[in-house]
Amino acid sequence: MPTHFFADAAFLGLLQFWDESRRGRALPAWNGDIEALPVALRPYLVVADGLPDPRYGFIGAEGVRRWGSDATGLPVSDVLPPAYGRYIQSLFDEASTRRAPVFSASIFRQGSDDDLIMTGRLFTPFTRPGADEPAVIINVQLFKGSEQPLSRVTYVHEIRRDLIAIAPALCAKLEEARRYYHAARALGRSLTDEVESMARSLMGSALVSLTPLADQTGK
């Protein structure tokens, strides 16, 4: 179960930033100020600005490293390989339509069958100041596996997709899991074990399972 990505500090950090930025509104507003992004999160964040067909407004250092170049300012559809692009566009659409954060875990193949990478990502929707409709997606991308450039992705298999329906509840549970981490280690349990148990307890309430995208292929 790929909920181990929930245990990553960047996942919790972005979810908290999105929730705290709402300030009583249904959706938070994004004014384009990169300096407003939490410093510790910036290497892992991507800002896609101008839904439904956005451009990259910002790509963190880890995204640039994984891609091999900085695509800031370019249309997302012009940058990503077809299989990867369709997957990412489906997440833009899902988070925008549902007006809530969406988590996705997937496996990428990059050329040969040996070049596999597991990814976890959280897509959070923002409006423009003074508006109500989503216009920007800020997402965190986490990777485990192959170090081959993401530009080589030829196949995407989405393992799971979840709507985060009650962000404060998930944030509280993740913080609780981290607080009990040291006690859990004494019992032979890892933080990942605690987070997976938490995720199971929240399914159907704070976490709502969505239908994963069909497998995508193509260079």
Query: 123, 104 in Cβ contact below 8 A?
Result: yes
DSSP-derived letter for residue 203 is B
Residue 170, Cα to own-chain centre: how many angstroms?
A: 15
Which residues contact residue 39 at a Cβ distance below 8 angstroms, ignoring those fewer than 6 apart? none
Task: Judge residue 103's burial from the number of C-beta atoms within 10 Å of its C-beta, 0-12 exposed, 13-18 middle, 19 or more buried.
Answer: buried
Query: 49, 135 in Cβ contact below 8 A?
Result: yes
Q: Residue 139 in 3-state DSSP?
A: strand
pTM of structure:
0.88
pLDDT per position as a tens digit, 100-151? 999 999 999 887 666 788 999 999 999 999 999 999 999 999 988 878 788 8
Q: What is the average per-residue pLDDT within 2-28?
A: 88
Q: What is the average per-residue pLDDT within 12-41?
A: 95
Positive/negative CA dihedral, 193, 194, 195, 201: positive
Distance CA 3, CA 85 (A): 23
- Domains in the chain and their CATH numbers? 2-217 (3.30.450.20)
How many helices (H) does the chain have, and how many strands (E)?
A: 7, 8
What is the helix (H) or strand (E) element at residue 90, kind and residue range?
Answer: helix 82-98
